[in-house]
Structure formats: structure tokens, C-alpha cells
A and B are shown apart, each in its own frame.
Chain A
Amino acid sequence: MDHTLLISKLTKVYPTPRGPLVVLEDFDLRVPEGQFVTLIGHSGCGKSTVLSIVAGLQEPTSGGVILGGREVTGPGPDRGVVFQAPCLLPWLSALENVRLGVDQVHRHLSRSERRSLAEHYLACVGLGDALDKMPSELSQGMRQRVSLARAFALQPKVLLLDEPFGMLDSVTRCELHDVLLDVWQQDRRTVIMVTHDVDEAIFLSDRVVMMTQGPKARVGGIVDVPMERPRNRAAVLQDPRYYELRQTLLEFLGSPGAESETEVASSTVEAVPG
């Protein structure tokens, strides 16, 4: 079955005391199954709104999201979400936090199968020894690992990551990049990640989607990241293409308003499809 994600003419308007605020207007994006896509843009440009609508936590004003041929009408376990804060339930252990989702989604499995599934994903993120730790006993980085394991263990069609590393220090952040790529490499789910970190976007993704500055944000340009996988940080950092990409993205983010697509015209930028 084809699990392509189609975001079509997405528009979101918030009513404010000073009149309606158009956050997103005609946001179009097509993500083929198994692709890792990053949304990048200025803070407050509506990146997270896109993700939230795809997750089904917010309703679009117009336009829609189609996943695997079906329109998204609300939240569901076919879309795993990792929030910026780990959002673990503090009264459940690491394993129980992962089990909460696993038990709900994989009902056809036996108890012991569900347990070993949860344990497997916790081991994947490097927490095989911390299954019974409570969130309060874990560092911020470890909590975010649990949160990743929880999302991956649902085995969703799409993973939605909303600045998942935004609250971490840079060392922990690099560690978690590797963890994320490791787990992703295993079963190649479709991923949409929101970030404002250019290096993170290039290192992790197949495509980087640049959003124009809001209001009325939409896709300003898409950059393909050609580096082969599995990726190695040292190798990526030596690749001259990395610096070209970085330059392109930084110029886009730095350009006043980042409105026009011509400003980011470059050999690596392809026209917005549709």
C-alpha cells in the first residue's frame, strides 16, 4: 500500500482581536513513503502549525492532508508525534510510557509480544538498562529518547517531529541525531521534522523544505540533500556539497522576508511541485 503523504492547499486562519491572522496560505507538499523531510523557517512562521494539522491536533481552515489515500480528520496512531518537550507521563516508568501507546495500537499482539516490542525500541534508543526508571530519574536527553521510542514503537506510517532536539544541549543533540538516524534506518518510516537548525536539517533529511516568513507562510523552496546514507557526521562535514547547501539555506533564512523564490535560485533548488 502506498503511504504517500499529501498536503494540499493548507490554509490556517486564527481569529485575533485585530482581525483574522492568516498563518498559512496554500501550503503544498508531497512526501513519498520513507522519505525524511525537514521543514525549516523562522520562528513563528507556522512550521509547527503544519505539523500539528498533519497530526490532527488542529483543524485546517481550508485545504487538507491525505495519508495513504485517506483524508486526515483527527489524531491517530498512524502518525507518531514527538513534541519539543518529551511529554512523558511522570507517573509511568520509561517502559510503561512506551507500553501505553504499544498496548493501544498493537492489540493483535500478545502481552509478552507487546512488552518485547516496547523493550526493543527502548533498547534501540540506548535505554535498554533504564526500562523501569521513572521520568524524574532521567536526564532531559534520556527523556527525549523515551519519547522517540514511544513514537517509533507505534510503527506509524508517518513520524512527526516538532523540534524534538530544541531543548537539548549540543552534545546531547548530536547523540540523539545518531540515535534517530539509527532507528529510522531500520524501518524507514516517512518523517516530517520541524527545526530551525540548518545543520540538523541537512544532516538528517532527504529534503529540506524552506518556509517563507509568516503571515501567509507557504513553501518557499525545496532543497534536495544528496549525501548518501547511512550518513556519518565526519564525512558529511567534509563534503563540499554540505557547505553549498548550508549557504543556500542560510541565505534563504537571512534574506529579508524570504518571500521570493528567485532569491534562492540555485542548482540544488527545485521548483515547488504542483
Chain B
Amino acid sequence: MKRSLSFVPPVLPALSELWMRRRMGNGSGRFLLPLVGFGFLLVLWQVSSWTWAKDLPSPAETWEKSRIYILQPLAKRGEMDQGLLRYVLNSLALVAQGYGLGLLAGTLFGLLLGCSPVFTRMFDPVVQMLKPISPLAWLPLGLVLFQNTRGAAVFTIALCSMWPTVMNTALGLRNVPQDYLNVGRVLRLSRLRMLWKILLPSALPYMFTGYRLSLGIAWLAIVAAEMLTGTPGIGGFLWQEYNALIYEHILVAILAIGLVGWVLDRCMLALERWITTSMS
């Protein structure tokens, strides 16, 4: 006990030095500080599994029992016994369908909302009502409508993920600077050229913000959809392992879901930044 206490004090100065370096523009803080953050999470996890959450497997146990899924990421031992990356890819394929559909519908719907005040009056309340509905609520309806799990999942993802795209596309069109509109009016551009040359480029950064938020929601929805339908993806795997009482696998699946969501968001953010800078 004494030993560990004497070990604690040097940690704080070391941390504060790291912080200082980061503030002074030193690059090492960029990687080390996030590692410290993950370290805290790991400690919290470890301590929890020792103390109040006896059923929670520790990080070491989790790694031990589920490393096969990580070390053989593309293995396929059976329909519901595959490598982690393979599950993720299955899920991504399903997300791509739903998200693609959601983007298409959301963009078109957003364009109509952004261009026409009458349309906005008519449909804005409908949008506001549909927006907060959870994927868990849509899925049963999808199953009724499509009679198969894949169709239901795509339907749910598309419906849940389209709203940020709708809202941001409409917002982008309403926020086209008056100066740009005046240029178009003075030149008497046709409606199509106005849309193509002025409205869309001007709204594009907003639209990409919407696309990024939509992707986040699509990824949230896929897990819910797979859990309820038992599709062989990362969410389906999670639910199956819960039923099999293999908690280590649940934890690994949770971490994988978070990691993939994070990577997706980073990719979209890079795309969004690129669009924003090249449009201004």
C-alpha cells in the first residue's frame, strides 16, 4: 500500500508537464493524452469488475476469451460465429443500403423544404413528429411492411438516418447569402442553373454536416435493427452472445461498435472539412 502511494505523486507532475507541452504546440500530447483517457476507462472497467459489478469480466478476461474474434478478424466458422471484422463488414453493407436510401430521400426532401416556404409549412410539423421516433419503434413496422428482416433493417436505417440530412439541406438552402442570390437574379439564371451553379454549391457544406450526422444515426440504428432481427452483423452477434451469457464477447462487440462509429465519423468529418474549404 505504501509503495503504491509513493508511486502516485510523480504521475501528476508528469501529466501537467504533458499538458503544458501540448499547449506549447508540442505534438506528443496529441497522442499521449488520448491514451491517458483510454487508460482511465480501462482502470474504471478493471475496478468495476473487482468491486460492484462482479459479473463484469475484467479487461484481461475479455481479451483472453474473445481474442480469436480479433486475431482472426475475417474468419467464418459458421453463420453466427465469424471474425469481428467480418461482422462489422456485414453490418456496414447493410448500413450502406439504408444510409444511401436515406441520403437520397433526405436530400430531395430537404431541397423541397429549402426551396418552398409552402412545402415547409405543410411538412415541417410532420418532420418534427417523425424525427424523434427511435429505430426500435420503426423496426416492427418494417417487419410488417416488408415481411423480411433485411428489408425491415434497411427501412429502419433509412427512415431514422434521413432527418439530419433533411434539416441541414433545407437550412443550407435557406442560408444562401443574399449576395449570391442577387448575382443569379441579375444574370437572370434559369431555375435549373440557379440551383446547380449557386444554391447547391452554397448549401453543400451544410449538406455534408447533415450527411455526417445521418451516418452517425445510421450506425446507431443498425445495431438496434440487428439485435431485434438476429442478422449476422455486429449487433446480431452482440445479442446472441448475451443470450449465450458470454459477457466477454458483448464487451468486445461494444468496443468494436464504438470504434467503427468513431472511424466513420472521422472520415465524414475529413470529407466535410474538405468540402467546406473548397467551397469558400
Name the residue on B nearest A96 (C-beta): B197
Contact flag A136-B280 (CB < 8 Å), given A87-B179, A89-B198, A100-B197: yes
Q: Please state if B187 and A101 are interface contacts (CB–CB under 8 Å).
A: yes
Q: Please state if A55 and B180 are interface contacts (CB–CB under 8 Å).
A: no
Q: Which chain B residues numbered 172 to 196 have a C-beta less than 8 Å away from chain A?
A: 179-180, 182-183, 185-189, 193
In the complex the two chains form, what is the Cα distance from A79 to B182 in whole Å?
Answer: 13
Q: Does A266 count as interface, using CB distance less than 8 angstroms? A: no
Q: Please state if A90 and B279 are interface contacts (CB–CB under 8 Å).
A: yes
Q: Please state if A76 and B188 are interface contacts (CB–CB under 8 Å).
A: yes
B244 shortest CB reach to chain A, Å:
54
Q: Does B140 count as interface, using CB distance less than 8 angstroms? A: no
| Residues in chain A near residue B193, CB distance under 8 A | 104
Complex partner residue of B187 from A57, A83, A92, A104, CB under 8 angstroms: A104
> C-beta contact mask, A63-105 vs B, less than 8 Å → 1, else 0?
0000000000011110111010101011110000000110011
Q: Please state if B183 and A87 are interface contacts (CB–CB under 8 Å).
A: yes
Name the residue on B nearest A52 (C-beta): B182
B278 shortest CB reach to chain A, Å:
7
Of B179, B180, B186, B278, most buried by chain A (CB within 10 Å of CB) is B186
Complex partner residue of A85 from B179, B185, B189, B202, CB under 8 angstroms: B179
Q: Which chain A residues numbered 87 to 145 have a C-beta less than 8 Å away from chain B?
A: 87, 89-92, 100-101, 104-105, 136
| Residues in chain B near residue A105, CB distance under 8 A | 187
Name the residue on B nearest A84 (C-beta): B179
Q: Does B201 count as interface, using CB distance less than 8 angstroms? A: yes
Q: Please state if A77 and B198 are interface contacts (CB–CB under 8 Å).
A: no
In the complex the two chains form, what is the Cα distance from A105 to B188 in whole Å?
Answer: 9
Name the residue on A nearest B275 (C-beta): A91
Q: Which chain B residues numbered 13 to 54 have a C-beta less than 8 Å away from chain A?
A: none
Q: Which chain A residues numbered 42 to 59 have a C-beta less than 8 Å away from chain B?
A: 55-57
Q: Please state if B186 and A80 are interface contacts (CB–CB under 8 Å).
A: yes
Name the residue on B nearest A88 (C-beta): B183
Q: Please state if A89 and B186 are interface contacts (CB–CB under 8 Å).
A: no
> C-beta contact mask, B191-211 vs A, less than 8 Å → 1, else 0?
001000110011000000000
A sample of 14 more A-B contacts (CB under 8 A), given A83-B182, A89-B202, A104-B193, is A56-B186, A57-B185, A74-B185, A75-B186, A76-B186, A77-B186, A77-B188, A81-B182, A83-B179, A89-B183, A100-B183, A101-B187, A105-B187, A136-B280
What 9 A-B pairs come out closest when comparing CB atoms?
A: A91-B201, A87-B179, A75-B185, A101-B187, A75-B186, A81-B186, A91-B279, A90-B280, A104-B187
